[in-house]
Amino acid sequence: MNENALYEFDKRFYGEYPLLCGIDEAGRGPLAGDVFAAAVIFPPDAVIDGINDSKKLSEKKREQLFDVIKQKALYWSIATASVEEIEQINILNAAMLAMKRAVEGLGVTPQLALADGNKTPQLGCPVRAVVKGDAKSQSIAAASILAKVARDRYMLETAKKYPQYLFEKHKGYGTKLHYEMIDRYGECEIHRHSFLKKYYAKRETSGE
């Protein structure tokens, strides 16, 4: 689906909902770090060239679009839920909380919000789930890019605080390298302990 098709998807809603908001999160899967979410409202005539699901774009392209999106959006907001919150209420609920915070940070109430995935956060406006929305809707794709770039930058900052874990290389995801660093150094305060329980149990069983 090209970028015009992503705009066309949103265009169907603009007649009834000029303040259409796209929401997405980044960082549900990693073993470490906060989960991020973003919310974006574009003017109904804004078409962003090259926009797509953040996972399908290079890091360089995401960085370029990050600035373009912020310039062209009427409103945008990035929010987080902490590692502590992830551990207390689980990652799905923490992702929903980050999305809710992102929408509340817009400074305006959307007339309709489109949320990526099959679950929706509790918002003070109508909200619809759009499965694979980051590849269908320009607004959701934009939110996915803001959330992903913001989270990657946060992990680069985190890497300076905990250089031994090489967060700049894996961004907290469960790569072979990351597991090796956990085996060597144990957990640090930004690791999601609940995400590592299965790994520890497997490691114990295999006698490693």
Q: What is the pLDDT of residues 53-74, one digit of tens each?
A: 778 899 899 999 999 999 999 9
> Where in the chain do CATH 3.30.420.10 domains reside?
3-153
pTM of the predicted protein model: 0.94
Distant-in-sequence, close-in-space partners of 26: CB < 8 Å, separation ≥ 6: 35, 36, 37, 38, 54, 144, 147, 148, 150, 151
- 3-class SS of residue 206: coil
Which CATH architecture is the domain 3-153 placed in?
2-Layer Sandwich (3.30)
Task: Output the pLDDT for position 163.
Answer: 97
Q: What is the pLDDT of residues 97-125, one digit of tens each?
A: 999 999 999 999 999 999 999 999 999 99
Task: Output the pLDDT for position 141.
Answer: 96
Do residues 134 and 26 lie in contact, with contact meaning Cβ atoms separated by under 8 Å?
A: no
- 3-class SS of residue 99: helix
Q: Cα(191)–Cα(85) distance, rounded to whole angstroms?
A: 12
